[in-house]
Structure 1
């Protein structure tokens, strides 16, 4: 599973189906009947007044004046919040486990040496190969490649199962159980078990994506049940809680490791143990709060569930090419490279800092703690740039910043200066990532056409995962070709440059918005025609692309 940090700041509203006349009558609403013009006009006024009252009640904020973290009696929001406290430490524990796996793989082939203080460290530029197949330094990126390929190939199927069957809750619980069991087993990561543990880690990366997909599917439902103001408060709380759980986990593990002078392997074992206890409690409590739900859509006769997710992706791609070739198309082409670049940046950084520059697991924990803390002001920087310009410029600026920052770090950091300068680099990495994710989601939220929010958010998630395996694969190939790891890091951040080039192909942001709004009417007509031709067709789509909704405020 890759270590990635995501701070998303925008949620997409799931479109609601109009209430039928029968439902309106059953709910006590006045329904216009045939009669004289005056009677019909009076009835229409009554309906309008009744609907206005319902709208006022619907958006009345029951949490006004309360602490922003209060969820009241909204059980799903509470469960969603607790699930964040499980996902955060899982991602952070990967840092310590990755360091231990690199050390144990190096030890397997005799690529460790004793340090002056009596400790052991990995030999730089070790040319020995594990099982004659790959170098120890390529182990973590190989894990990321396997996880990325599994997600790219299987997530559309998982999304279709979540959307077309009543098994959303079961999938969430099953993935939580499997993740927990693997985390418990990985407490036994030692010299004789490291390779099976590495295989389990690759599988965990896929289960982690399944867990997020099933969890995020509840977000549109929560959004429909509360006001916009309440949803904003919920989202802010989810972000703070997950962010806090990650930071607290890092502080605890680093503190224990420093207090008892643990080596990388023992630190990883402690990390997995504490993480296991945490997720057992969090997953159990959270999923007991999340309800079982019916299928959101029904397969038409002759349709096959196995292919439904892929078919929906193809239909969405054709719709974007037809209606939004100057706006959304270029944004999603940019996402194809931006998201894999950002995710791989953190994965490759773990290898670069631990294997080449010699940072221990504890020191890596401190490094990423600095990154986490500095992501907060990074978000403020993104807001400031957006106010002065627009989301497109802000998004491209954050990617260019990370591109330049990656090159500077790769070319300047050495074993001699990494202890002081490496943490300064971490500060700027945090600023860059903290600016990248909010600006990315803000851009998307402003170009989502009316009525296809769920469809586009699912397609966005799939685009973000489609090439997730490519940057770590390129790093692995360079390492195996005996190329210095710093050039592998530079190659990884070049994905940001490609993303900037893609998004720069779109016109000015005002014209992007103009194209999106102009095509809203065309989509309404198109969908109306489709519905008339096939009454079973529904406009709303959900998780079959890979996820029904983006995690609006997550730090993963």
Structure 2
């Protein structure tokens, strides 16, 4: 009864609200500022994928022998078919030349003609190929990076090394062109994606050490997420509507120019922000854990994944089922932007400018989605499980509508009416799934289970892109292939609905709740920030 009275005390509620809404003590820590600058810089560098992928696709199509029919730009080298078009051409689509290198009104669509291949694949498969390789690299690297973060005293050095690789990968792509596009795509899919994932793993390991009160972590990460979203929006606006049009040509060649301009902007802006965060504010750290005897950094990560799976199967089955469902629906969340991009560029015949507008709408509408998700949880309008389910259903309905009603250049503009709802659903699902996760995590295992949460996010990140790639290569159409995301969303939803009993999960962790941090308890004194590394 005393505990209930304490929870109802107005002062306690006010203090909790202050921690949630304005985590001022944490933001006085300079390392929080360093985390923010580093995170924003890395986000700007990584988000260039949105401007690079259309340029890669154009160059792959040209090498594969494809050309574009688009009469407004008849002087472009891809558009000289306009003077003898037969009226059966679809504006914005790419076609394959016959073996004699002659363009003819009867040429087939590039994605459907087996004569137009590049490195064994249709040029239209460039985006899903890059996404598949990227997902595989991240899935393999995740246990290794997690082990290094936990058991090595070189976390700061790893932070610097991965930042250097990310910056170098972006800088190399400034030279994107007919001779370099394939190498640039591989660099983006391997070095770029892998270094970004590893950098974020090293960076997020600083969060628990930057706050004196663990209850402030959601507030700090929420504010940082808002700044990250703002950085993405500004990048898309500046590159798409600011400096981009000043340095790009009309027609397909302009998409390659836009990719180069985007990389220049990202390197000029993102690299200094990362350097500022790492070298001025973030300090070195000792290893979080001792490396067990007989284990190496190369094997301990995979050993810990296996051990966590065993714990979930024997003690916390409900949480284990949540992770299984999460692996499915998060793989679709990760792939939705890139696969929607492939659909927009190939199936709808749109260009990089349209893709940027779609991405901007997606990000903008994710913000009210996240706010609504938080409101749903605070007001208890839906249960934790129902909130996640609602977001997954809305996402699935959106892409099913795209497949049903938006499938050609003539119906393409309707996509702008659907994307805001897709972005809203994407923003909704992230707070909702974390709220459910926190409720099911056993006390005293928070670090282990959050690490497995990150691993689960990467474990199937390659699968939707691979299925999309296979369907596109088989049929030459993407109208059915885009349904791969709803399949993974609904697959995860099925696991959530039939296997995740929240009440049972709460019973499974009830005995461990006394090991959790309680916001009313006295917080441990904040550790003094480590000194920033000495300059050479």
Structure-2-length-normalised TM-score: 0.81
Partner of residue 441 from structure 1, selected from 396, 416, 434: 434
Q: Which residue of 2 aligns with 1:425?
A: 418
After TM superposition, the structure 1 = structure 2 runs for residues 491-510 of structure 1, keeping only pairs within 5 Å, are 491-506=484-499, 508-510=501-503
Match of 1:365 among 356, 359, 362: 356
Measured after TM superposition, the shift of residue 220 of structure 1 is 1.4
2:507 and 2:260 map into 1 onto residues whose CA distance is: 54
1:29-428 to structure 2, matched below 5 A, reads 73-118=28-73, 119=76, 120=78, 123=94, 124-126=109-111, 127=113, 128-203=115-190, 204-223=192-211, 225-226=212-213, 228-229=215-216, 231-256=217-242, 257-258=244-245, 262=249, 263-288=254-279, 289-325=281-317, 327-386=318-377, 387-418=380-411, 420-428=413-421
CA contact (8 A) 1:79 1:286 kept: yes
Taking only aligned residues, the RMSD between alpha carbons, in angstroms, comes to 2.6
Distance 1:361 1:70, change over 3 A: farther
Please state how far the C-alpha of 1:235 moved relative to its aligned partner.
2.5
> How far apart are 1:458 and its partner, in Å?
0.4
- Report the alpha carbon displacement of residue 512 of structure 1 after superposing the two structures with TM: 2.6
Alpha-carbon distance change, 189 to 70 in structure 1, aligned in 2, over 3 angstroms: farther
Distance 1:129 1:469, change over 3 A: farther
Matches within 5 A, 1:517-536: 517-518=510-511
CA distance in structure 2 between the partners assigned to 1:65 and 1:306 by the alignment = 39
Matches within 5 A, 1:531-550: none
Distance 2:20 2:224 in 1: 19
Quote the offset at 1:215 in angstroms: 0.6
Q: Is the 8 A contact 2:327 2:459 kept in 1?
A: yes
Change in Cα spacing, 1:72 to 1:434, as seen in structure 2 (3 Å) is closer
**Alpha-carbon distance change, 67 to 503 in structure 1, aligned in 2, over 3 angstroms:** closer
Per the alignment, residue 487 of structure 1 pairs with 480
SS at match of 2:68: strand
Question: Alpha-carbon deviations, 1:252-289, whole Å to 9, x = none?
Answer: 01113345664111111110000011121111101112
1:485 match: secondary structure: coil
Q: Deviations over 1:141-195 (max 9, x none)?
A: 1112212222222221121122111111111110100110111110110112111
How many Å separate the matches in 1 of 2:362 and 2:300? 39
Deviations 1:280-326 (A, max 9, x none): 1111101112111111111232222211011111111111111111x
Counterpart for residue 512 of structure 1: 505
**In structure 2, what is the Cα distance between the partners aligned to 1:163 and 1:77?**
20
Report if the CA contact (8 A) 1:69-1:237 is conserved.
no
Deviates more, 1:469-478 or 1:129-138: 129-138
> Which residue is equivalent to 1:544?
none
Structure 2 counterpart of 1:474, from 467, 474, 485: 467
Question: How far apart are residue 345 of structure 1 and its match?
Answer: 1.5
Conserved? CA contact 1:125–1:356, under 8 Å: no
**Residue 117 of structure 1: SS of its match in structure 2?**
helix
Distance 1:496 1:148, change over 3 A: same
Which whole-Å CA distance do the structure 2 matches of 1:164 and 1:206 have between them? 20
Task: Report 1 or 2 for greater relative contact order, CA contacts < 8 Å, sequence distance ≥ 6.
Answer: 1
CA contact (8 A) 1:68 1:237 kept: no
Quick check: 85-94 or 430-439, which moved more? 85-94
Unaligned runs of 5+ in 1: 1-55, 525-556
What is the distance in 1 between the residues matched to 2:346 and 2:384? 37
Q: Do 1:323 and 1:519's aligned partners in 2 also have CA atoms closer than 8 Å?
A: no
Q: Say whether the 8 Å CA contact 1:258–1:362 is kept in structure 2.
A: no
The verdict on how the C-alpha distance between 1:340 and 1:66 changes in structure 2, with shifts beyond 3 A counting, is closer
What secondary structure is seen at the aligned counterpart in 1 of 2:48?
helix
The 8 Å contact of residues 179 and 208 in structure 1, kept in 2 or not, is answered as yes
Cα 1:315/1:91, change in 2 over 3 Å: same
Q: Supply the distance in 1 between the matched residues of 2:354 and 2:132 (Cα, whole angstroms).
A: 25
CA contact (8 A) 2:444 2:512 kept: no
Deviation at 1:493, TM superposition (A): 2.0
Task: Name the TM-score, length of structure 1 as normaliser.
Answer: 0.78
1:24 is matched with none
Residue 354 to residue 74, structure 1, CA distance change in 2 (3 Å): same
Contact 2:139 2:458 in 1 (8 A): yes
Query: 5+ unaligned residues in a row in structure 2: which ranges?
Result: 1-10, 79-91, 95-108, 517-536
Could you tell me how far apart the structure 1 residues matched to 2:19 and 2:54 are? 46
Q: Take 2:247 and 2:195, find their aligned partners in 1: how far apart are those partners?
A: 33
Pair 1:250–1:511, CA change in 2 (3 A)? same
Q: Structure 1 residue 452 and structure 2 residue 445: aligned?
A: yes
Q: CA deviation at 1:469?
A: 1.1
Distance 1:392 1:110 in 2: 50
Name the CA distance, whole Å, in 2 between partners of 1:65 and 1:310. Answer: 36
| Count of residue correspondences | 462
